[in-house]
Amino acid sequence: MPELELPNPEELGERREKHFSRRVALTTAIYAVVLAIAALGGNNAMKEMLLAQQQSSDQWAFYQAKVIREHQYRGLKLQLEAQLAEPSSLKGAERAKFEALATRFAEEEKRYNAEKKDIEQDAKKLEHLRDRHRNRDPYFDFAEVFLQIAIVTSSVAILSTSRPMFWFSLVLAVIGAILTANGFTQLFALPFLHHATGH
């Protein structure tokens, strides 16, 4: 009867450890990819927020310029109307010229008022966009923290061949991935994150 060779328990243990370490290393690489995506999302959200802020500031400056012009035309129109109200001051062709001028100033005042309202709407849209990007940013920040801790704990899991540590890293990474996805999609809002941003 041939001798049955039993595998060395130490060898089996080593193989198991190698298999575990390989699996954890591969998973850690996936964590790193998600971390890179979170960092990119955070950078983009910040850039978009600053751009929208700049554009809304430009629109409000433009709005102010329109308001000033509107008031100038209103002032000129009121001066002409006051002059026209005095019966003895203007006669014939001169009076008609002043009336035409007053009418033109009234039209300009109306035009600037209408343009001002459009600019105000654009500025408010840009502010809304800015706030949306500002609300996205903290999700990416927290995702990066969770994913970085996940990478550290999975590295510890490889060194100590600790399965509980690996599962802990996996939980952290899943939270990080969910926060990253939410940074892009805004499917849910965590009130404490928006409170931190002043909303």
Collect all residues with Cβ–Cβ distance below 8 Å to 108 and sequence separation of at least 6: 69, 73
Question: What pLDDT score was predicted for residue 95?
Answer: 79
User: Which residue ranges of the chain lie beneath pLDDT 70?
Assistant: 1-10, 12-13, 87-90, 194-199
Question: What pLDDT score was predicted for residue 162?
Answer: 92
Between CA 157 and CA 167 the distance in angstroms is: 9
Question: What pLDDT score was predicted for residue 152?
Answer: 96
Tens digits of residue pLDDT in 11-59: 766 777 888 999 999 999 999 999 999 999 999 999 999 999 999 999 9
Contact of 153 with 165, CB cutoff 8 Å: yes
Question: What pLDDT score was predicted for residue 136?
Answer: 93
Question: What pLDDT score was predicted for residue 196?
Answer: 45
